[in-house]
Amino acid sequence: MAKEVKTNAMRFLEQKKIPYSMNTYECDEFIDGITVAEKLGQDPEFTFKTLVAKGKSGTYYCFLLPVAKELDLKKAAKSVGEKSVELLHVKDINSVTGYVRGGCTPIGMKKQFMTVVHSSAEALSEFFISGGRIGTQIKLSPTALVSAIRGKFDDILLSSD
């Protein structure tokens, strides 16, 4: 049996002694987070996507939110102290983060960016995030993640009025 190749995210978690488990799924290219959650039998409310944005200052930020929700760019900007933020174009994800679309995670990027996790995760004992490559999800404690990457929890979702 082939040995599972660890991602930078997994190596980081092991180095910090943060417990995690891994879920994998068959996939050759990007699929949306809701489909991933369904494939793995995960609740989409506990499955979070990583979005990378660039602030007006030129600084990059990561935002984690449930896969079925949308990021409120104004709330996101306010949360990180920027006048505005705009999502990174898909073609720029790899050069900025070292990851590809669908495999982007706030752990083990080329550089650790300020990360904001939606406040709904703060009450969860575990949630799922990308494992650092397409086809891999990591289940871990949101509070352990935020502590390890010096992130924070905040309300960054677009209101569904």
pLDDT, average across residues 94-115: 92
pLDDT of residue 1: 44
pLDDT of residue 51: 96
Residues 6+ apart with CB under 8 A from 129: 48, 50, 64, 105, 106, 107, 137, 138, 140, 145
Per-residue pLDDT tens for 114-156?
A: 999 999 999 999 999 999 988 899 999 999 999 999 999 999 9
Task: Please state which CATH number belongs to domain 22-154.
Answer: 3.90.960.10
Per-residue pLDDT tens for 28-84?
A: 777 788 888 888 888 889 999 999 999 999 999 999 999 999 999 999 999 999 999
Q: Is the pLDDT of residue 98 over 70?
A: yes
Q: Where are the domains of the chain?
A: 22-154
pLDDT of residue 39: 84
CA terminus-to-terminus distance, the chain: 51
pLDDT of residue 38: 87
pLDDT of residue 4: 64
Strand partners, 130: 137
Q: Token pair 């209101």 is at which residue?
A: 159
Q: Is the pLDDT of residue 3 over 80?
A: no
